[in-house]
């Protein structure tokens, strides 16, 4: 299942107590204080792990506790440090403190580690408290408690390009045609219920782009219509939007284009302002030349580039992929390199 938000509780280990002890050796009468320090408590870390695509695993475990520090011992022996604990999260996870709203981590690189809560310091043993006038301190410090937090985690997929559009516009067919991704394709709306990622390889070199197939949007999505806009957060980090408009549908495309724009704007003005290319899909089955002309006109009115494709025949796909790479000419390689559907494919 594709789960993209979760709440967890994390608790770092308490520090061990310092120890009160004195040297007791046969030929050393009245030996000095020898109580060791308590060990530090373990911390809890977030680790960006490409083996995970969703937050589903946090359904089974939502509490993480690091080990406590051992208490100090006699003969100046320190207590052992408590064991650290790691919470593995997919790339694109944003971790915030559920109570204060403070953003603690935004994991974008594989292997990145961020400390979520810090273990408590171990207390000092009595050996630290000896002074010339107090040679036999009978006290030590207790360990400090480990931090504790409630965290909320949001997964926002990391992709370069997001394919958006009405249900049935041909988004999944497109991603299946240009990458190894295999989302479900069918002749009815809302076939795709969760976002899918695909890696597209350049025709000319070894560059890759991560493209996201976003479930269809309809008018009123921001008020919850259809699948709503709950998946639009996955568009937030995409630098380019590829807006598919079905050329096989009837009527003037202006309304169709405007209604997707309104939904994007209602979600986030920033997302609505992203670079966007308008793509007429299903050109092999175009309903009329007027329909295609109206899609082109809607793109021109907005100063957006316009392309025509047919994922069925492959026409225009090379140009589209070339265009996408051209837009990203100066950008770094994509952070994710998997063609896995996000989730277990249960749709
Ligand atoms: N003739 C033709 N049909 C297409 C083309 N692309 C997609 N289709 C058909 O259009 C229908 C919808 O395609 P999908 O790729 O599932 O559409 P979608 O945009 O992912 O739809 P949702 O997941 O429901 O939002 C399917 O029956 C496809 O076979 C095309 O280029 N030409
Ligand atoms: Mg689909």
Residue 44 shares a structural domain with residue 127: yes
Q: Are residues 106 and 216 in the same domain?
A: no
Assign residue 29 the CATH number of its domain. Answer: 2.70.210.12
Residues 184 and 148 in one domain: no
pLDDT at res. 31? 76
Per-block average pLDDT, block size 10, for the chain (347 residues)? 90 95 78 91 95 89 96 92 96 94 92 96 92 88 96 91 94 94 87 88 83 91 83 88 96 95 93 94 95 97 96 96 84 47 48
Both 199 and 123 in a single domain?
Answer: no
Give the residues surrounding ligand 1 with Cβ less than 6 Å away. Answer: 167-173, 185-187, 189-192, 215-216, 281-282, 284-285, 310-312
Boundaries of domain holding 251? 161-327
For residue 294, report the distance from its CA to the centre of ligand 2, in Å: 24
Pair (145, 205) in one structural domain: no
Query: Which element (helix H / strand E) includes 304?
Result: none
Best residue for ligand 1 mutational test, from 173, 186, 187, 287 (most atoms within 8 Å of Cβ): 173
Residues 248 and 284 in one domain: yes
CB 201 within 8 A of CB 181: no
| Cα gap 158→207, rounded to integer Å | 16
* Final residue in a domain of this structure, among 132, 155, 178: 155
Instruction: Report how many domains make up the chain.
Output: 2
Report pLDDT for 302.
Answer: 95
234: helix, coil or strand?
Answer: helix
208 & 83 share domain? no
Q: Which two tokens stand for residue 132?
A: 């010339």
Q: Is residue 3 within 8 Å of 53, Cβ to Cβ? A: no
Quick one: which H or E segment has residue 127? none
Given 136, 155, 174, the domain boundary residue is 155
Same domain, residue pair 69 and 174: no
Residue-wise DSSP of 279-292 = EEE-GGG-S-HHHH
Ligand 1 centre and the CA of 125: distance in Å? 71
Mutate to test the pocket of ligand 1, among 168, 308, 345 (most ligand atoms within 8 A of CB): 168
Residue 19 falls inside a structural domain: yes
Q: What angle do CA 38, 44, 49 make, to 5 degrees?
A: 145
Would 344 be classed as within a structural domain?
no
Which atom of ligand 1 sits closest to the CA of residue 173?
Answer: 15
Looking at the structure, tell me whether residues 232 and 295 fall in a common domain.
yes
pLDDT score for 333: 47
DSSP code per residue over 71-82:
PPBTTTBPPPPP
Q: How far apart are CA 303 and CA 122, in angstroms?
A: 63
For ligand 1, atom 5, which residue shows the shortest CA distance? 282
CATH number of the domain encompassing residue 295: 3.40.50.300
| Rg of the Cα atoms in the chain | 29
Q: Are residues 272 and 167 in the same domain?
A: yes
Domain boundary (123, 155, 187) is at: 155
């Amino acid at each position: 299942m594709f789960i993209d938000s979760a709440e967890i509780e994390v608790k770092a280990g308490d520090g061990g107590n310092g120890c009160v002890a004195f040297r007791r050796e046969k030929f050393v009468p009245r030996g000095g204080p020898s109580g060791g320090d308590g060990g530090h408590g373990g911390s809890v870390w977030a680790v960006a792990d490409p083996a995970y695509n969703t937050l589903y695993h946090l359904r089974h475990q939502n509490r993480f506790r690091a080990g406590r520090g051992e208490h100090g011992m006699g003969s100046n022996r320190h207590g052992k440090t408590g064991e650290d604990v790691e919470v593995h999260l997919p790339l694109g996870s944003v971790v915030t403190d559920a109570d204060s709203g403070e953003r603690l981590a935004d994991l974008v690189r594989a292997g990145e580690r961020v400390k979520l809560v810090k273990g408590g310091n171990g207390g000092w043993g009595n050996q630290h408290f000896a002074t010339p006038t107090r040679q036999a301190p009978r006290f030590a410090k207790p360990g400090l408690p480990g931090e504790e937090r409630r965290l909320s985690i949001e997964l926002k997929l990391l992709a370069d390009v997001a394919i958006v559009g009405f249900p049935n516009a041909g988004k999944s067919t497109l991603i299946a045609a240009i990458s190894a991704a295999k989302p479900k394709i069918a002749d009815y709306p809302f076939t795709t219920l969760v976002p899918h990622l695909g890696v597209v390889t350049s025709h000319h070199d070894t560059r890759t782009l991560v493209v996201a197939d976003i479930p269809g949007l309809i008018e009123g999505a921001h008020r919850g219509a259809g699948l709503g806009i709950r998946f639009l957060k996955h568009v937030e980090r995409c630098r380019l939007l590829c807006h598919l408009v079905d050329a096989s549908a009837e009527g003037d495309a202006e309304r169709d284009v405007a209604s997707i724009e309104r939904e994007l704007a209602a979600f986030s003005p920033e997302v609505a302002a992203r670079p966007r290319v308008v793509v007429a899909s299903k050109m092999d089955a175009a309903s009329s030349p007027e329909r295609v002309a109206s899609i082109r006109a809607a793109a021109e009115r907005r100063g957006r580039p316009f392309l025509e494709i047919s994922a069925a025949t492959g026409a225009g796909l090379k140009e589209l992929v070339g265009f996408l790479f051209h837009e990203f000419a100066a950008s770094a390689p994509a952070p994710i390199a998997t063609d896995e559907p996000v989730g277990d494919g249960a749709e």
